[in-house]
Amino acid sequence: MLPDKDGPNGGGGVQDGPGTEDPSVTLFREYLRLKTVHPEPDYGTSETLLPCPAVNRSAISVCPGRVVAIITWVGSRPELKSVVLNSHTDVVPVYEEHWKHDPFAAVKDEHGNIYGRGSQDMKCVTIQYIEAIRRLKAAGKRFSRTIHLTFVPDEEVGGHKGMETFVKHPEFQKLNIGFALDEGLANPTNAYTVFYGEKNPWWITVRCPGSPGHGSRFVENTAAEKLVSVFRMLNTNECFTLGDVTTVNMTMVKGGVAYNVVPAEMDVSFDLRIPPTVNLQEFEEKIKAWCKEAGEDVTYDFAQKHMDQNFTSTEESDPWWHAFSSTCKAMNMTLKKEIFPAATDSRFIREEGLPAIGFSPMNLTPILLHDHNEYLNEQVFLRGIQVYERLVPALASVPPLSGGE
Ligand SMILES: [Zn+2]
Ligand SMILES: [Zn+2]
């Protein structure tokens, strides 16, 4: 456990009297204070903050400086397929000047809202898993299936040095996974959203070479003209079909050296999110054609190109979904099934042919992931622990699957 320099409620906001804050909330706030933020996440210290007594721990190095930590609670029938509770440890950067509290101070305001980068995405879930496991163990429970908690780096930058590499590691196979839970999104209503599939992220950089020259001349065939042309074509309505929306955002532009020098090249990057129903081969052909139309020398590269279109079953006949949904029903929770609009590490798990459900138990909460002033209310956080206290036993007690395991 890390020392808490500011006391239990450090950083301002409401000061609970000593000992009045639930220790799991205190742990959550301590975790929020760790700067596992890109572009240089401090992963070293997060290792020490994940206390989970009397369970096996291991650490798999997937790349230099990148470790997947695993906490395992072995089941009474370890030959059965396991349940994975996955979370990523990194968070996205902040625009600090737009926050009303320091995004790494975990300030709790008078309403119990805890502000911090990662409070929704997804440090809450990490601590909720840990706390649920701790409580179940303390209550003397044991389940037939083994439970693995996996803590994965680099989700927010594409997972290359995280889950994408981990799923190909022999240690991943050894986990003998039957089913995985991973992150979802908050829901502003009383319902909880669950995700059984997700859009395919494509991160594309288009390189536009062009004729250089003096900034005062009529230069033709410029890099900027080509860039604008690519942008216009990618933003056409052809990308959108109602209900199945492909989103396109221009996210980076590079090029230029001086006001009066027409640049020899400009690069433009796009973040595309494509629904699983779109024909991806056809879509790439379109992109290729648009680039060609912008200029014969215009090329493109993918930094992220996911092609998997697997869904996880949400049929009542599916034993994993049945365990999940019937437990939620028993807790009077309303579930909304959706396709995840962005991307999570679940896509790599599903690509291995394994079922994964995206779920972060945050109802009555605005969706603030990656946004300024990301927060989670402590009562919602505490309720989420109770949800996992019911869900984990149900999943880890799913009877042996028909057809053998
Ligand atoms: Zn996330
Ligand atoms: Zn995120």
HEC string of the chain?
Answer: CCCCCCCCCCCCECCCCCCCCCHHHHHHHHHHHCCCECCCCCHHHHHHHCCCCCCEEEEEEEECCEEEEEEEECCCCCCCCEEEEEEECCECCCCHHHCCCCCCCCCECCCCEEECCCCCCCHHHHHHHHHHHHHHHHCCCCCCCCEEEEEECCHHHCCCCCHHHHCCCHHHHHCCEEEEEECCCCCCCCCEEEEEEECEEEEEEEEEECCCEECCCCCCCCHHHHHHHHHHHHCCHHHEECCEECEEEEEEEEECCCCCEECCEEEEEEEEEECCCCCHHHHHHHHHHHHHHHCCCCEEEEEEECCCCCCCCCCCCCHHHHHHHHHHHHCCCCEEEEEECCCCCHHHHHHCCCCEEECCCCCCCCCCCCCCCCEEEHHHHHHHHHHHHHHHHHHHCCCCCCCCC
pLDDT at position 46 is 58
pLDDT at position 405 is 85
In the block, tokens 């599903």 appear at 350
> Is there a catalytic annotation at residue 389?
no
pLDDT at position 239 is 56
pLDDT at position 45 is 64
Report CA(354)–ligand 2 centroid distance (Å).
22
Tell which wins on pLDDT, 18 or 396: 396
Whole-number Å distance between alpha carbons of 246 and 204: 14
* pLDDT band, residue 9 (cuts 50/70/90): very low
* pLDDT band, residue 18 (cuts 50/70/90): low
What's the pTM? 0.89
Q: What is the pLDDT of residues 184-237, one digit of tens each?
A: 999 999 999 999 999 999 999 999 999 999 999 999 999 999 999 999 998 875
Interface TM-score (ipTM) > 0.90: yes
Give CA 257 to chain center in angstroms.
36
Q: Which ligand is nearest to the CA of 368?
A: 2
Between the alpha carbon of residue 394 and those of residues 134, 235, 299, 321, 387, the distances in Å are 16, 46, 51, 10, 11
Q: Report the percentage of the chain scoring pLDDT > 70.
A: 91
Q: What is the pLDDT of residues 252-300, one digit of tens each?
A: 999 999 999 999 999 999 999 998 888 899 999 999 999 999 999 999 9
Q: In angstroms, how far is the first alpha carbon of the chain from the final one?
A: 38
Average pLDDT, the chain: 91
CB of 210 closer than 8 Å to CB of 318: no
pLDDT at position 6 is 40
Q: What is the mean pLDDT of residues 85-89?
A: 98
> Of these residues, 21, 30, 90, 374, which one is catalytic?
90
Q: What is the pLDDT of residues 321-375, one digit of tens each?
A: 999 999 999 999 999 999 999 999 999 999 999 999 999 999 999 999 999 999 9
Report CA(368)–ligand 1 centroid distance (Å).
11
Q: Give me 403's structure tokens.
A: 């057809």
pLDDT at position 44 is 81
Report CA(184)–ligand 2 centroid distance (Å).
10
* pLDDT band, residue 238 (cuts 50/70/90): low
* pLDDT band, residue 11 (cuts 50/70/90): very low
Between the alpha carbon of residue 26 and those of residues 186, 265, 311, 350, 375, the distances in Å are 21, 51, 37, 34, 15
Report CA(183)–ligand 1 centroid distance (Å).
6
> Is there a catalytic annotation at residue 318?
no
Buried b (16+ CB within 10 A) or exposed e, 12-28: ebeebeeeebeebbbbb
Judge whether residue 5 has pLDDT over 50: no
- Report residues near ion ligand 1: CB below 5 Å: 121-122, 183
2: CB partners within 8 A, 6+ apart: 30, 33, 34, 45, 48, 49
Q: Which ligand is nearest to the CA of 182?
A: 1
pLDDT at position 8 is 40
Report CA(121)–ligand 1 centroid distance (Å).
5
Judge whether residue 246 has pLDDT over 80: yes
Judge whether residue 115 has pLDDT over 70: yes
Q: What is the mean pLDDT of residues 141-155?
A: 97
Q: Report the percentage of the chain scoring pLDDT > 90.
A: 83
> Of these residues, 30, 131, 154, 155, which one is catalytic?
155
Binding site as annotated, residues for Zn(2+): 88, 121, 156, 183, 370
Report CA(358)–ligand 2 centroid distance (Å).
13
